[in-house]
Every structure is written in structure tokens, then in C-alpha cells.
């Protein structure tokens, strides 16, 4: 854990320059707009430790797999989010001396991420080795209103000298991924040109052949007057720039304004991409910095209107939740069904921008409640479009007849995870994809989705489960052998309770979905039957047989659901018995020791209890929570949120709050000493869930919004909004009262603390706050 940022409700603030924190800050202060993103690297040269990162949504490279011993079935490559051409570079030299904060005395420094308006600002006063002092304010944003545009305003003043200043604004396309398996370049240059204020480079990814064109236009003002002399152009391999050389006097103010157009062949035809980049740049320059910035701020305002959570009385918690919401909204905007949400979004390379089960299990609930319906629908369609590839993934592992195994990690539908126990065994991801369909329909009421897309996916996943179980004569039950559950600190286990639970649930839901489509969308049902070659009588019978006879490990004495066969044979310890010096255990213990221990990385049994809580009474939930949570080391970012929600559910408010703080400030306070690698974007949705589903007790049951709000002791109040079936519901909770407002004209009915209320359009109800737990 490392705390160095100032607490503020709307901003993340770093008040001094400590090079040791720099790469963590580069992650934390990242900005993006769903289409491209940028770590908080400095514009000017920096020779200290840094991870340079510019990322473009959907642009990836299949890096050849690197493993010790090849096993049949391994994916050939790991899809990497690509470090893309750097558009932010602005080098500054004072009389041939480079401004490089690693080599300067940094006298004043402040870095601010303004989450309300979506920009990054850095202020510094630095003394160069020669004793010359320079002052700067640098503002950067990636436009939410003009999705292919980024802009920088770099304001400079000489403090104690008159001199010659050289400003080089450039694009560097000679970049590498720090995590490249074979230290290769992933990009080739297609074209480059530079003249005066402008420069363009088109680059092409090797193997995948994505084109990306970056164009920049840089202008300069001196004491409020445009500097008319044209800059000198620079051009070399994978590099273009514009160089301004100007004479400056003490206290002069030089403003460098840099616009960038970042285009990819996802949205442009390759032969036209250079021309299109020029057009995008023209329109940005024409709008001007102030207008672009105002439009961008306005888009953020709209996003916050729906997705903000306001917490009164606890600025640390407030900052934490806003940071999470901010990062989610700048990672995924939901307009393109080819895009998804990488665990690190646009903030780092490890796990990159690839798709994991995180999207379905964590992110979809956030977007379902805070964004228009099409946003989560697009995330479902993403998987639908990859169904054929999922069937092929299944075939590669020996499955047949249209059985789909969706990948653990993917960019294009193909599995590309490189660790066998996860690639082949962590099959519960299939269940999350089925559950997301159910969850989407539960929230939106869009039943037609089942007949148009959902049923095909469900049939294919159910076929997989059917083939993945086998009948044990010994147990006289179906069993599922050799799996890895969500707890990756156990591999190749038999009868992981969670995996069996989600498999059985999927089969059951598929049967239900078949009935719905058959009854309500007859002709579509026929075409699904045909397309999937569905053997209705046989397949339904087989699935029902598995539902009725699947084995679930349970401890007979205590009634606790067992994580897997034999879990209780392990030496039983709780995480508080661990030496704090040896945590996180994955950084101190051998892998072998971890596998043999009883310690749990993230919710496993409890993930199932969370998803299917209606099947269990509070005592059962309590019993399992009290057994498993103390054995959990929460070394996955996805862990604390589910535990926090369950702690709220069983009335353990103190633990719910502690776990909430852990999830909401995981990156800001660097709990797992890894934030320099990038942020945990997907778990951020879990933080939102811990407030809304945990403290707010929000559920959807029988087509109705259900709320059971409680409030953490430290808070004065909290409030949030939820989309529900065309209504927008505002929820305010304080120690004294719960206020529910219907923010549009569509009437709805809700269940609050177990009582039914009808809420007319634009109406409001107020009730006493009951700290309710059933």
C-alpha cells in the first residue's frame, strides 16, 4: 500500500515530484475517450523510469506465445494491446539544454486529474543543471466529443533568464511494447510527411495489418500573440516534428498548442486514412482549443449526470468511487460492438485491452444501470459475433456438435491466453457470458434479444457443459473434473462448486429461454433450430438429466458449500494468520506453496452465492461468507467488491465498508504494489456495485427494482441514479431517510425495504432509513 495522493472529491492531485512514484502516477493520471487512451507520460523528454503508453481501441498484435514446454492446444499467440505512435511529444530545450525533469531540480510540482471535466494538468517550476528556471502549466485532454482528437496546451515561462528556446513538437512511431515477448517492433511505417506546423505518420501493425494515422498541428503564441514564423520540419524514420526556435525574455509567456488526430483503420479505409486525418485535424484546428475543450467538458458533464455517486461526509470514499467511474467511462463508451473493456483499459500493457470474463461479470452491471441500453447490448453482441470462433475454440480442445467455449482472453474471438490451467480449465467464463444475457434481459426487459441472438449463444454454451461433465458411477452423479475456478490459486480441481453451479444454472436458463422463444417468437425459433441443428427432444432431455443429477460438494457437518472436492483436506488457516511481510503471497511464496495452501485469491464459492443469492437464505449466505472470506487474500482486484456486497447483504456493515474502501482505492493507494503496470479497470465496476448493490441493496426481482439501503457509519449521505426500463431513478440515502425520485415521466413500481411503492413520473417518495437486512 502506498498513499501519496491528496484527497479531493473531484480531483486526483499529486503535489510533489517523486520519481519513484512517477510510473504509478503515469497509470493513475491516464486519460482516454473509449477510442484511444494515454498514460500520463510527460510531453517533454524524461530520462527517468517511465512506461510510455498510447493505446488505440481494437488495435492489437498477436505476439507469438512464449512458454517453457509446448502443450497441444496452446494458443499460438497472446494478443497484446499495442503501444501506438506517441502523439504527445513536445521537447523543450533552453540554449541547447534539454528540459528533463529527471535531471532538473523540481522546485514545485503539481499534477491534477480533473475527473469532473476530464483533463490532466501539470504545473512545474524546474531548475535546469545550468541554474535556469522554467515554469510551466500543461493541460491535456482526449476529446469525448471529437473521438479522434487529443489536444495539449503547454504554457511556458522563463523565470530567471533571457535565452533561446527550442520547442519540438513531434510524433514518434518508433515505439515498442515493454512486454513484447521477443523484443520485436510491432509497427511498420507506411508513410510520413511533415511541413511547417503539421506532420503525419501512417503506421501498420505487423501480422494484423491495422493502419493507424496520427497527424499533429502545433502552433505557438508569445505573450498572447500568434507566432507567425513557420517552424522547421523534421523527418526521419518513424518520426516527424516541427521545430520552433524563439528568443524569450524573463517572464515571457509562450503557449504551445498541439492538436492531434488519431485515426485507425477500424473506422477509415486504408487508402484514405492520411487524407481523413488531415480533415479531422483541420476541423480540430478550426474549432480551436477552447471550443474543443468546452465541447469535451460538456460531454463529461452529461456522463456524470447519470453515472455519478455522491458521498457526503467521506472525501476519501468519494474520491475513490469517482475515480472508478471516471476510468470506466473513459475506457468504454459503448458505441462500437467490436470493442470491449480490457482489464487495464488504456493504462498499461499487462492484461492489456483484451476481453476477459470481467466484462460480463463486473462491467455489464455497471453499464446496465448507468448508460443507455445499447451500451450493454453492444457488449453482448461482441460475444455473439464471436460465437463461431468460440465453437472453433471448443473443437480445438476436442468438443463437437456446436459446443462453444468462449475464450478466457481474446481480441477477435480466438483464445489467446497462454497458461494451460487458465486457458483449458478456467471454463466458468462460459457461464458468465450466459449470465450476462440473463442479466441484460432482467434489467431491460428486452426479451427479443433472446430470439435474435441470445438463444444461439446459450445453446452452444449448454452443449459445452453437456460434453464437459461425465457420469461418475462411484458418486452416481454427473461430475466436472480438472477445472480451475475463479480462485486461480487452485488448479485442476474436481467439482469446483462455483463452476458446477453456473453450469447447471446455464442449462436451466437455456431450457427457459427455449420455451420463451418457442412461445413468443415462433418463426425465429424455427430459424434458431435450423441454424444450430438443434435436436430438441434429445438435447433438452440430456440437459435436464444433468440438471437433476449434477454433483455439488458440500461439507456434511457444517453445510458449507465446498470450493472443490477435498478442500477441507488442506491445512485450514485464515489470512490474518499470515505474516504481513509476506503479503501479497503471490509476490513472496512459491507457486507450489500457494497451490497447496487453503488461501483463496478471489470470490469462488462466494461468487456463486452472490450471483444466485435468491437460492439461499441469509443463514446459508452468512455461513459461507464467514467461512470463506477470512481465507481469502483478495489478490485479484475483482475480489473485494463481491465480498463487500455479500457483507452488506448479511448485515456485516463494518466489513462491507472496509472491503469497499479496499476496492475503491485499490489503485489510488496501490494496495497490491502493481499500479505502475496499469489500472484495474474492470474491477472498478465492482466498486460501483459495492455501493449500489451492496450499500444500496439494489436488485431486480420479478421485473421490479428492489432497494434495501443502508449507510456506512462514516457517511452522512450518498446518492446515485439508475436506469431501469426507461425510467431514471434517483436514490438518496442518509442516516435518517431514503428518498427515491423518478427523474422522468415514465411511472414505475419498486420494492423498498420489502414494501411495494408506485412511483409516478417525476414523483418522489421519502421513507425513514432502516438499515435493513433480511
Which positions are catalytic?
Answer: 488
Q: Are 33 and 333 within 8 A, CB to CB?
A: yes
CA 440/CA 700 separation, integer angstroms = 11
Q: How far is the CB of 486 from ligand BGC (least distance, A)?
A: 6
Binding-residue total with ligand BGC (CB under 6 A)? 12
The one segment of 84-92, 276-284, 356-364, 754-762 that binds ligand BGC by CB under 6 A: 356-364
Least distance from ligand BGC to the Cβ atom of residue 206, Å: 26
Instruction: Give the chain's end-to-end CA distance (angstroms, integer).
Output: 35
Degrees, nearest 5: CA angle 375-376-377: 90
Q: Candidates 96-104, 285-293, 349-357, 618-626 — which segment interacts with ligand BGC by CB under 6 A?
A: 349-357
Binding flag, residue 186, ligand BGC (CB under 6 A): no
Shortest distance, position 433 Cβ to ligand BGC, whole Å: 13
Decide whether 150 or 343 has the Cβ nearer to ligand BGC. Answer: 343
User: Which CB, 351 or 406, lies closer to ligand BGC?
Assistant: 351
> Quick one: 343 or 402, whose CB is closer to ligand BGC?
343
Cell of 162: 533571457
Whole-number Å distance between alpha carbons of 773 and 371: 28
CB of 63 to ligand BGC, least distance (A): 18
636 binding ligand BGC? (CB under 6 A) = yes
Contact 509, 438 (CB under 8 A): yes
Asked whether 273 and 213 are in contact (CB, 8 A), the reply is yes
CA distance 534 to 460: 10
* Min separation Cβ 362 and ligand BGC, Å: 9
**Closest approach of Cβ 430 to ligand BGC, in Å?**
13
Report in angstroms how near the CB of residue 635 gets to ligand BGC at its nearest: 8
For β-strands 727-734 and 149-158, DSSP reports them as: unpaired
Rounded to an integer, what distance in angstroms lies between the CA atom of residue 545 and that of residue 539? 10
678 or 709: whose CB is closer to ligand BGC?
678
Binding span for ligand BGC by CB under 6 A among 204-212, 252-260, 353-361, 738-746: 353-361
Query: Which listed range, 179-187, 312-320, 355-363, 518-526, lies at the site for ligand BGC (CB under 6 A)?
Result: 355-363
Rounded to a whole number of angstroms, the minimum distance from the CB of residue 488 to ligand BGC is: 5
Residue with cell 498572447: 224
Q: Which three-class secondary structure state does DSSP give residue 765?
A: strand
Q: Which one of 63-71, 144-152, 203-211, 352-360 is the stretch in contact with ligand BGC (CB under 6 A)?
A: 352-360
Which residues have a Cβ under 8 Å from the Cβ of 115 and sit 6 or more positions away?
Answer: 10, 11, 12, 322, 323, 326
Q: Which of 356, 382, 497, 688 touches ligand BGC (CB under 6 A)?
A: 356
Residues in 577-606 at the binding interface with ligand BGC, rule: CB under 6 A: 601-602
The rounded distance, in Å, linking the Cα atoms of 329 and 367 is 9
Characterize the bridge pairing of strands 77-81 and 60-64.
Answer: antiparallel
Binding to ligand BGC by CB under 6 A, coded x per residue (else -) over 680-719, reads: --x-------------------------------------
Give 3-state DSSP helix, strand, coil % of the chain, rounded to 5.
Answer: 35, 25, 40
Q: Does 27 bind ligand BGC (CB under 6 A)?
A: no
Minimum CB distance to ligand BGC, residue 483 (Å): 14
Which H or E run contains 635? Answer: none
In the shown chain, the binding pattern of residues 644 to 683 toward ligand BGC, with x for contact by CB under 6 A and - for none, equals: --------------------------------------x-
> Distance between CA atoms of 4 and 694, rounded to whole angstroms?
28
Which residues on neighbouring strands pair with residue 554, listed in sequence order? Answer: 561
CB of 690 to ligand BGC, least distance (A): 17
Shortest distance (Å) from residue 163 CB to ligand BGC = 49
The values of phi and psi at residue 546, to 5°, are: -70, -45
Which H or E run contains 619?
helix 618-628
Rg (CA), the chain: 27
**Piece of the chain touching ligand BGC by CB under 6 A; list 160-168, 293-301, 354-362, 436-444:** 354-362
Asked if residue 486 binds ligand BGC (CB under 6 A), the reply is yes
Site for ligand BGC in 273-302 (CB under 6 A): none
What is the DSSP code (8-state) at residue 747? -
User: In whole angstroms, what is the distance from residue 640 CA to residue 638 CA?
Assistant: 6
Nearer to ligand BGC by Cβ, of 175 and 666: the residue is 666
- Considering the complex, state which of residue 601 and residue 649 has its C-beta at the smaller distance from ligand BGC: 601
For position 491 contacting ligand BGC by CB under 6 A, the verdict is no
* Residue 444 is a binding residue for ligand BGC (CB under 6 A): no
Closer CB to ligand BGC, 211 or 426, in the complex: 426
Which residue(s) pair with 113 in the sheet? 12, 120
Residue whose CB is less far from ligand BGC, 89 or 342 = 342
3-state secondary structure of 533: coil
Question: Whole-number minimum distance, CB 173 to ligand BGC, in Å?
Answer: 29
Considering the complex, state which of residue 197 and residue 488 has its C-beta at the smaller distance from ligand BGC.
488
Q: Are 357 and 427 in contact (CB under 8 A)?
A: no
> For residue 245, what are the contacts with CB-CB under 8 A and spacing of at least 6?
164, 165, 166, 167, 232
Nearer to ligand BGC, 411 or 638 (CB): 638
Task: Give whichever of 201 and 409 is closer to ligand BGC, judged by the CB atom.
Answer: 409
Asked if 638 is part of the footprint of ligand BGC (rule: CB under 6 A), the reply reads: yes
Assess contact for 550 and 502: CB atoms under 8 A.
no
603, three cell numbers = 470470490
CA dist 704 to 177, 434, 725, 754, Å?
A: 48, 21, 9, 12
Interface with ligand BGC (CB under 6 A), residue from 358, 415, 670, 677: 358
Pick one of 314, 349, 414, 488: the residue that binds ligand BGC (CB under 6 A).
488
What DSSP letter does each residue of 324-338 carry, written as one string?
Answer: HHHHHHHH--S--TT
Find the shortest distance in angstroms from Cβ 436 to ligand BGC: 14
Residue nearest to ligand BGC (CB): 343
Q: Which is nearer to ligand BGC, 358 or 677 (CB)?
A: 358
What does the alpha-carbon distance between residue 97 and residue 716 come to, in Å, rounded to a whole number? 53
| d(C-alpha 508, C-alpha 516), whole Å | 13
Binder among 351, 465, 498, 715 for ligand BGC (CB under 6 A): 351
Grid look-up 490474518 returns 576
Sign of CA dihedral 553, 555, 560, 562: negative
- Closer CB to ligand BGC, residue 53 or residue 402? 53
What does the block give as the cell for 672?
Answer: 497490491
Task: Rule CB under 6 A: choose which of 343, 353, 407, 431 binds ligand BGC.
Answer: 343
Contacts of 720 (CB under 8 A, 6+ apart): 308, 309, 310, 691, 692, 696, 730, 731
Site residues (vs ligand BGC, CB under 6 A):
343, 351, 356-358, 486, 488, 601-602, 636, 638, 682
Amino acid at each position: 500500500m502506498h498513499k501519496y495522493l491528496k484527497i479531493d472529491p473531484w480531483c486526483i492531485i499529486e503535489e510533489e515530484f517523486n520519481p519513484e512514484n512517477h510510473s504509478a502516477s503515469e497509470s493513475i493520471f491516464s486519460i482516454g475517450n473509449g477510442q484511444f487512451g494515454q498514460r500520463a507520460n510527460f510531453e517533454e523528454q524524461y530520462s527517468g523510469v517511465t512506461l510510455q503508453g498510447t493505446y488505440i481501441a481494437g488495435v492489437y498484435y498477436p505476439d507469438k506465445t512464449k512458454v517453457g514446454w509446448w502443450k497441444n492446444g496452446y494458443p499460438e499467440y497472446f494478443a497484446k494491446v499495442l503501444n501506438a505512435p506517441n502523439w504527445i511529444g513536445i521537447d523543450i530545450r533552453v540554449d541547447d539544454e534539454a528540459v528533463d525533469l529527471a535531471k532538473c531540480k523540481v522546485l514545485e510540482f503539481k499534477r491534477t486529474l480533473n475527473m469532473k471535466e476530464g483533463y490532466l494538468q501539470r504545473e512545474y517550476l524546474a531548475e535546469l543543471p545550468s541554474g535556469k528556471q522554467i515554469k510551466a502549466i500543461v493541460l491535456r485532454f482526449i476529446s469525448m466529443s471529437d473521438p479522434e482528437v487529443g489536444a495539449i496546451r503547454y504554457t511556458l515561462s522563463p523565470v530567471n533568464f533571457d535565452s533561446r528556446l527550442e520547442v519540438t513538437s513531434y510524433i514518434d512511431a518508433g515505439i515498442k511494447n515493454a512486454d513484447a515477448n521477443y523484443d520485436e517492433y510491432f509497427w511498420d511505417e507506411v508513410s510520413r510527411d511533415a511541413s511547417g506546423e503539421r506532420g503525419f505518420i501512417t503506421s501498420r501493425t505487423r501480422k494484423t495489418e491495422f493502419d493507424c494515422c496520427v497527424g499533429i498541428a502545433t502552433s505557438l503564441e508569445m505573450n498572447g500573440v500568434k507566432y507567425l514564423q513557420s517552424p522547421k520540419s523534421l523527418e526521419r524514420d518513424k518520426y516527424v516534428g516541427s521545430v520552433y526556435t524563439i528568443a524569450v525574455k524573463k517572464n515571457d509567456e509562450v503557449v504551445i498548442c498541439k492538436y492531434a488526430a488519431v485515426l485507425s483503420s477500424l473506422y477509415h479505409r486504408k487508402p484514405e486514412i492520411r487524407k481523413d486525418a488531415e480533415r479531422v485535424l483541420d476541423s480540430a484546428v478550426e474549432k480551436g482549443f477552447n471550443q474543443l475543450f468546452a465541447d469535451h467538458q460538456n460531454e463529461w458533464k452529461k456522463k456524470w449526470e447519470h453515472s455519478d455517486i455522491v458521498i457526503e461526509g467521506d472525501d476519501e470514499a468519494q474520491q475513490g468511487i469517482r475515480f472508478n467511474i471516471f476510468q470506466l467511462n473513459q475506457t468504454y463508451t459503448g458505441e462500437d460492438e467490436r470493442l470491449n473493456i480490457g482489464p487495464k483499459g488504456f493504462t498499461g500493457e499487462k492484461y492489456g485491452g483484451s476481453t476477459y470474463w470481467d466484462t460480463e461479470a463486473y462491467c455489464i452491471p455497471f453499464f446496465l444501470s448507468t448508460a443507455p441500453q445499447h451500451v450493454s447490448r453492444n457488449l453482448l453482441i461482441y460475444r455473439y459475433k464471436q460465437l463461431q470462433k468460440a465453437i472453433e475454440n471448443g473443437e480445438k480442445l476436442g468438443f463437437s456438435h456446436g459446443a462453444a467455449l468462449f475464450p478466457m482472453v481474446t481480441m477477435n474471438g480466438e483464445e489467446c491466453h497462454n497458461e494451460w490451467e487458465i486457458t483449458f480449465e478456467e471454463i466458468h467464463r462460459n457461464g458468465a457470458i450466459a449470465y450476462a444475457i440473463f442479466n441484460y434481459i432482467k434489467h431491460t426487459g428486452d426479451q427479443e434479444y433472446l430470439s435474435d441472438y441470445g438463444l444461439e449463444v446459450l445453446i452452444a454454451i449448454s452443449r459445452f457443459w453437456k460434453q464437459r461433465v461425465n457420469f461418475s458411477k462411484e458418486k452416481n452423479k454427473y461430475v466436472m473434473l480438472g477445472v480451475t475456478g475463479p480462485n486461480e490459486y487452485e488448479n485442476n480441481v474436481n467439482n469446483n462448486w462455483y463452476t458446477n453451479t453456473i453450469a447447471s444454472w446455464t442449462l436451466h436458463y437455456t431450457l427457459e429461454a427455449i420455451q420463451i422463444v418457442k412461445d413468443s417468437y415462433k418463426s425465429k425459433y424455427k430459424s434458431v433450430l435450423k441454424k444450430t441443428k438443434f435436436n430438441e427432444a434429445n438435447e433438452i432431455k440430456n440437459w435436464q438429466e444433468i440438471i437433476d443429477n449434477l454433483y455439488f460438494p458440500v461439507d456434511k457437518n457444517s453445510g458449507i458449500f465446498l470450493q472443490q472436492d477435498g478442500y477441507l483436506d488442506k491445512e485450514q488457516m485464515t489470512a490474518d494468520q499470515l505474516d504481513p511481510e509476506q503479503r501479497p503471497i503471490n509476490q513472496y511464496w512459491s507457486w507450489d506453496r500457494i497451490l497447496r495452501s487453503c488461501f483463496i485469491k478471489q470470490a469462488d464459492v462466494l461468487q456463486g452465492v452472490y450471483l444466485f443469492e435468491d437460492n439461499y437464505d441469509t443463514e446459508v449466505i452468512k455461513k459461507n461468507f464467514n467461512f470463506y472470506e477470512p481465507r481469502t487474500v483478495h489478490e485479484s482486484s475483482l475480489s473485494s467488491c463481491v465480498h463487500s456486497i455479500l457483507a452488506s447483504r448479511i448485515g456485516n456493515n463494518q466489513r462491507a465498508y472496509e472491503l469497499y474502501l479496499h476496492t475503491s482505492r485499490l489503485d489510488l493507494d496501490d494496495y497490491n504494489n502493481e499500479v505502475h503496470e496499469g489500472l484495474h479497470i474492470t474491477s472498478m465496476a465492482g466498486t460501483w456495485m459495492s455501493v449500489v448493490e451492496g450499500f444500496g441493496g439494489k436488485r431486480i426481482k420479478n421485473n421490479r427494482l428492489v432497494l434495501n439501503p443502508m449507510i456506512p457509519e462514516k457517511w452522512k449521505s450518498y446518492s446515485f441514479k439508475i436506469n431501469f426500463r426507461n425510467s431514471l431513478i434517483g436514490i438518496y440515502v442518509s442516516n435518517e431517510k431514503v428518498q427515491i425520485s423518478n427523474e422522468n415521466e415514465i411511472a414505475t413500481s419498486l420494492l423498498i425495504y420489502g414494501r411495494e411503492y408506485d412511483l409516478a413520473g417525476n414523483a418522489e417518495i421519502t421513507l425513514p432509513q432502516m438499515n435493513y437486512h433480511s
